[in-house]
């Protein structure tokens, strides 16, 4: 049963099957966020989704397959540490996205656990995170380089280093925020860094 072919015109069993698959992925998301990838079992995910293990196995060949679907769902939701849309100013995007992330602590927690777990060589998410960090660093570096060309980057700031710094600071401060949400303001922390490295448009 391949639910991927169910397009918008499909109805009946196909639409129902796609909805069920999506529901499993959402439950897996929560299970992984709580127990990590290695600590979770397909049996637990099936139980959380209110279906049998063999029913779940109609949709996914294994836990690895479920993880990849969870990471796709995360990308689809566009949450977490992210790249700006075409015409949104870079620094405004970063701060707005960091503020928006405060509404989705479960996603942030999942991402924190998986990105750390996936460092190990045999983790099925390793390639995903390797590619994600590479892509994000390239995109942010291009943004800082463009700001430099506008005369808005402080002298001596390296666009590549600033790119890695924003991503690192963002993920690190979100982890502190997960522990003590009343005492850490991730958006304000990122804004303070951007204020250090960027000159305001009028002074540039």
Where along the sequence are the contacts to a copy of itself (CB under 8 A)?
33-40, 109, 112-113, 115-117, 119-120, 126, 129-130, 133-134, 137, 154, 156-158, 161, 164-165, 167-173, 175-176, 178-180, 184, 188-189, 192-193, 195-197
Interatomic CA distance for residues 26 and 183, integer angstroms: 29
Please calculate the CA angle 182-95-32 and round it to the nearest 5 degrees.
65
CB of residue 161 to a copy of itself, shortest distance in Å:
5
Instruction: Choose between 19 and 161: whose C-beta lies nearer to a copy of itself.
Output: 161
CB of residue 172 to a copy of itself, shortest distance in Å:
3
CB of residue 20 to a copy of itself, shortest distance in Å:
27
A 10 A CB-CB count for 159 gives: 18
Q: What is the CA radius of gyration of the chain?
A: 20
Instruction: Choose between 9 and 103: whose C-beta lies nearer to a copy of itself.
Output: 103
Q: Running DSSP on this structure, what letter comes out for residue 83?
A: P
CB of residue 29 to a copy of itself, shortest distance in Å:
14
Question: 151 in the Ramachandran plot: left (φ > 0), alpha (ψ -120 to 50) or beta?
Answer: left
Given a contact cutoff of 8 angstroms between Cβ atoms, the answer to whether 142 and 53 are in contact is no
A 10 A CB-CB count for 112 gives: 17
Instruction: Choose between 82 and 171: whose C-beta lies nearer to a copy of itself.
Output: 171
Instruction: Choose between 26 and 44: whose C-beta lies nearer to a copy of itself.
Output: 44
């Amino acid at each position: 049963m391949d639910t991927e072919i169910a397009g918008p015109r499909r109805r009946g069993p196909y639409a129902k099957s796609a909805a069920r698959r999506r529901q499993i992925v959402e439950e897996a998301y929560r299970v992984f966020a709580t127990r990590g990838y290695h600590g979770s079992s397909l049996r637990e995910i099936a139980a959380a989704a209110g279906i049998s293990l063999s029913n779940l196995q109609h949709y996914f060949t294994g836990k690895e397959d479920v993880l990849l679907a969870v990471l796709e769902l995360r990308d689809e939701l566009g949450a977490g540490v992210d790249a700006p849309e075409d015409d949104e100013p870079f620094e405004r995007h970063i701060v707005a996205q960091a503020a928006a992330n405060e509404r989705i602590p479960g996603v942030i927690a999942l991402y924190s656990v998986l990105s750390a777990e996936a460092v190990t060589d045999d983790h099925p998410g390793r390639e995903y995170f390797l590619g994600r960090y590479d892509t994000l660093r390239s995109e942010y570096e291009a943004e800082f380089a463009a700001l430099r060309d506008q005369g808005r980057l402080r002298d001596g700031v390296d666009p590549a280093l600033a790119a890695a710094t924003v991503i690192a600071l963002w993920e690190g401060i979100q982890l502190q925020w997960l522990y003590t949400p009343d005492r850490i303001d991730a958006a304000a922390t990122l804004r303070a860094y951007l204020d250090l490295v960027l000159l305001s448009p009028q002074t540039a």
